[in-house]
Structure 1
Amino acid sequence: MPKTSGRDRLRELLDAVLDDEHHSLTDMAGGAYSSPYHFTRQLSREAGEPPVAMRRRVMLERAAWQLRHGASVTDAAFEAGYESVEGFSRAFARAYGHLPSEQSGGDRSTWLPAPNGIHFHPPTSLWVHTGERTMSQPIDQLIHHDLDDTRALLDLAKQLRDDAYRATVRPGQQVLGFDGPDDSVASVLTHQVATKEIWLAAIEGEDFPEPGPDDPAELLERHDRVAGRWLAMVRDVERRDAWDDRIIDALCDPPESFVLGSILAHVLSFGAARRQLARTMLRDHGMTVDDGDPITWLRQRNGHEESEVGS
């Protein structure tokens, strides 16, 4: 093994992670003259983030910076190590809450939450942001599972005929008293999307949102639009440690105050109930639906992301 005295070992590990020629864990470990097991163990200990996850995140940050400065989605995807534009777009949207085509220009941030403050710094360097506060892993997983699972159910609902989609299959079913009936696939999924739209309007001080189209395809577009804003809001509140802050919701009559942490708990709790109710209704229509287990979702998500970057 070559001598490494006089060098910053963490810097050497990071170099191995971010080398453009290292597309897999084996490549990274070889570049640091280590076995994959010891490489993962050492970097996770020193930086608090596994190497594959760090590479995926920093490469996405670099891609976001490139897109802001005029690079095409195709070029950014392949430079980030993805084998397809579709795989890159899925990973980018999961990370940033919007499609890569929406990243160009403007003042969108290119940094993603990092447990170690290590970020891409143009043109080829890293920036270590000390004291960074990010979403804890359980919160991050709860938020992303809710968004991904809702999207998957909306995608399934597109397979239903319109009359089946709107048919009352659970008469009298109502998850929340003030939301109205949840007696059809249409009503359940519409409430699932509208809940985030309404709470975001209250948090951001906007007018009560007008009801949007509720067929599955357009409801899916509404979900994709609100998902990025919702994710950004949660990350901002977590970064500021503002979960105990209150908002005065003027959309209520009379106005009412709410703790931000309770709003998140409300949306996730009743969202989980509605997702499972939607599953039951889709099965009533003869469709095959998974059980929505977060354990399965996380395994599949990690597997997809690692395969998309060639790991």
Structure 2
Amino acid sequence: MLIVLFGCNYICSAEPLAGTKRLDWEGDIASRLIDSADAFLLKKIEETLAKNELDQPDRAELARILGVVDKRVAASSHLEVLSKVAESDDFVVHEIRWEAFGDVYGEGLWLAPPNAKESVIVIPDADQTPEEIAGFDDKLPMVYQTAREYAAGGLNVFVPVLINRNLGPHKISNREYLYRPAFELGRHLIGYEIQKVLALVDRLGAELVGIHGHGEGGMLALFSAAIDDRIPKATVSGYSGPDADLWQEPAERNVFGLLKQFDLASLKKMIAPRDLKILAHPPGPQVLIEQKKSRG
């Protein structure tokens, strides 16, 4: 008993450690500790949210993971008009091509109304041809003929052609077939096609008023506007942006590390304060992915 009392007396009379003081709280000490922890954590959350508001996603990093890394041909290189393919009361349609990067050219149509001074880039889905969205035939409903609508409204319309999803002799889609070797080289099919779009942006300069894409073209329009702030307006249909279901989409949409930094909310932040419209209609393409077969 004497030993216990001696020990208690020694502990109770001991001096506090350097840099500390004796705890003299009264009342419910446990609740006070929890309140202090809550206040600390709430402060840290507020600081993090404020920092995120100031931080902008890295355009250069998005370009890198999409494979938009090769230097494009100088904008002084002009569009090459190959032929006149159609004419209506509202506009003339030319087949064109333009240098993009290296030995890669973009190809497509130019819908040219008389005296047009402003331009828009319209990107079709991979399963749509420039001729179809220009209204050359009745294969597509009017709601998909966006190039014709813009041209009828007096704008120059440039429509690049995309690699299609047709199955080739390799038993996978043409898009997946090109995606696979590009991935091994640190490039991407998405990046190749964005480069063709941005090569048009280089040439159009201040006359460009916007970019409009549907389906696969909507994805390219969204990424292009996020990467390049010279695009004043982006309209996207048939594509709702990258999200957690990306793994269920065609293989050629797979981009390593994309969702870590560049989900739809981040892409919207990169485009703001420029105008971005994501339309619910018309609906996007239905791409059938069969088990044990090509995902493209």
**TM tier, smaller:** under 0.3
TM-score, normalised via structure 2 length: 0.22
**Quick check: which one's helix share is greater?**
1
**Quick check: which one's strand share is greater?**
2
TM-score, normalised via structure 1 length: 0.21
